[in-house]
Amino acid sequence: MAFLVATTLFLFGQLLLCFSQQVRGVNYTFMREAVEAPVMAYYDYIIIGGGTAGCPLAATLSERYRVLLLERGGSPYDDARVLNMAHFADVLADTSGASPSQRFVSEDGVINARPRVLGGGSCINAGFFTRAGPGYVRALGWDPKEVVSAYQWVEDVVAFQPELGPWQAALRRGLLEIGVVPDNGFTFDHILGTKVGGSIFDAQGRRHTAADLLRYSRPDGIDVFLRARVARIVFSRKGTKPVARGVLYHDARGGSHMAYLNHGARNEIILSAGALGSPQLLMLSGVGPADHLEEFGISLVLDHPGVGQGMSDNPMNAIYVPSPSPVELSLIQVVGITRFGSYIEGASGSDWNSRTSGAAAAAAAQVRSFGMFSPQTGQLATVPPKQRTPEAIARAVEAMSQVPDAALRGGFILEKVLGPQSTGRLALRNLDPDDNPTVSFNYFSHPDDLRRCAAGIATIERVIRSRAFSRFAYPNFAFPATINVTAEFPANLMRMRGGSDPRALEQFCRDTVMTIWHYHGGCQVGRVVDRDYRVLGIEALRVIDGSTFNASPGTNPQATVMMLGRYMGVKIQKERMIAEGSGIEP
């Protein structure tokens, strides 16, 4: 009996240990620094970018084939800030060269961020998890059953049902009270009305990222190299047609490495470097608008005018609502999906560093923040986009340090625009793949986007005035005197008077626009890639990530980007097995 008990306890302990290792993801035997990579190696698939799409794609393809996954950043498991919800804003505020978040400023003047870490945007975002709508799936010709299966594969690892605190619950009731109905409860699905969506943060506030999906990998089938900076894709020719053959990349010490495709008609290089990285690397490799590449002396592989075109970012506008009652710390949990094409969401709480103690707490008190709406993260809506200079940010941070604690108690209610329909372009700034390209999104250049924003702001006003939300808003939304301590209070405090002039609301939208980090485009389906994500005019090269999107899916793209990695990995495997089994050549 004692032996049985001891054996049972041992096995239980081993199961717990295994589960703990899986959750942490730190025991990936196939993950190494690029300095350890061979100078030359061969693979069936080479995936550039270990991000939101790249990780599930690599894990899936490794089930049957030899896969190389190249990630320019480090491991999320080595940075406690990435995995802790309380430090979400700290990552976005870190502008050092080693940060998991790389800041960029669009030509519109809006400060934004792109990921530089295994797991991609799922490591630095606000965590909301929701599927794309049925219409989106149909428009792209995806198989609905396979899409659901791919979503579930992802959700089993990274998605959770959040527990609503009082502020988020009041926001939900307020949306229903003003007519954003029906009440859809908790669901991953994209449905008109009000719902509680999923989160990649678990009940303990721990983030689960796309990197966690690498647990599905066949260890002998995959190599993951970190801090592997891809310089360019190498091509050969089949007649006059370019064929992708390999990748040149550099490690953290500047060493050069070559990875080539094994012989085989169906082996491929797949770009999953994101909406900025994928079009940028295509251009640096000689695929893009010929006149633009000529400016930088890049040898032309294929004149592809669509590369870098169709860039979009979902504009976000938010209103800070000071609260007479304490509020919980929360990121996006509730969403109102309106019929006029605006999504209403919220986040509450401030002083995200306040969970520290001792000397750390004393230091944090001098760096107060509003989390995802903080000047430290670049979300400074108190001045128009072009005026958000480093000096303006520094003034806002200083102003925040002078504001009484009571003024920082509250939450933000935001709206973001469906689509959007406004588009811009991406272009090279220089020949450095680590540097940011230039990008413009042309926020609100399309009148429908502006109309939807104004309607969304008016909806927020109605939520604030609702009976359900009254506990967390001052009567008539009249701000207490403490709010007006400084003229440069670093949060947007729009004075609601009722019956707002639509033209004033539209100007408000233009002046206070921020990003919600949902930028996409640059390698769009039908423009740069076909419906199977093959680059038009080139063999053995695909792009599988958010750069292929013509519109942002659902209310948040990350679930769909992860799903797409799994979905296309399964599809590629099935098609290859059928073709090779029947002797069919592509």
Peptide bond connecting 242 to the previous residue in cis, omega within 30 degrees of 0? no
First-to-last C-alpha distance (Å) of the chain: 62
Q: Does the annotation list 518 as a binding residue? A: yes
> Which one is catalytic: 87, 257, 518, 520?
518
Q: Does the annotation list 490 as a binding residue? A: no
Tell me which residue has tokens 């020719």: 237
518 is catalytic: yes
For residues 80 and 87, is the Cβ–Cβ distance under 8 A? yes
Q: Does the annotation list 117 as a binding residue? A: yes
For the CA atoms of the chain, what is the radius of gyration? 24
Q: Does the annotation list 142 as a binding residue? A: no
For residues 231 and 73, is the Cβ–Cβ distance under 8 A? no
Q: Say how far apart CA 342 and CA 336 lie, in whole Å.
A: 8
CB-CB neighbours of 23 under 10 Å: 14
Residues 446, 451, 454, 460: what is their CA dihedral angle, to the nearest 10 degrees? -110
φ/ψ (deg, to 5) at 416: -135, 155
DSSP-derived pairing of the beta strands 222-226 and 31-33: parallel
DSSP letter for 239, please: T
Sequential DSSP letters for 485-534: G-TT-SS------SS--HHHHHHHHHHH-EE-S--B-SS-BTTTB-TT-B
CA 586 to chain centre: 34
Helix 558-582 with 54-61: angle, nearest 10 deg? 30
Q: Say how far apart CA 500 and CA 498 lie, in whole Å.
A: 5
Q: Does the annotation list 257 as a binding residue? A: no
Please report, in range form, the residues annotated as the binding site for FAD. 117, 230, 517-518, 546, 557-558
Active-site residue set: 518
Please report, in range form, the residues annotated as the binding site. 117, 230, 517-518, 546, 557-558
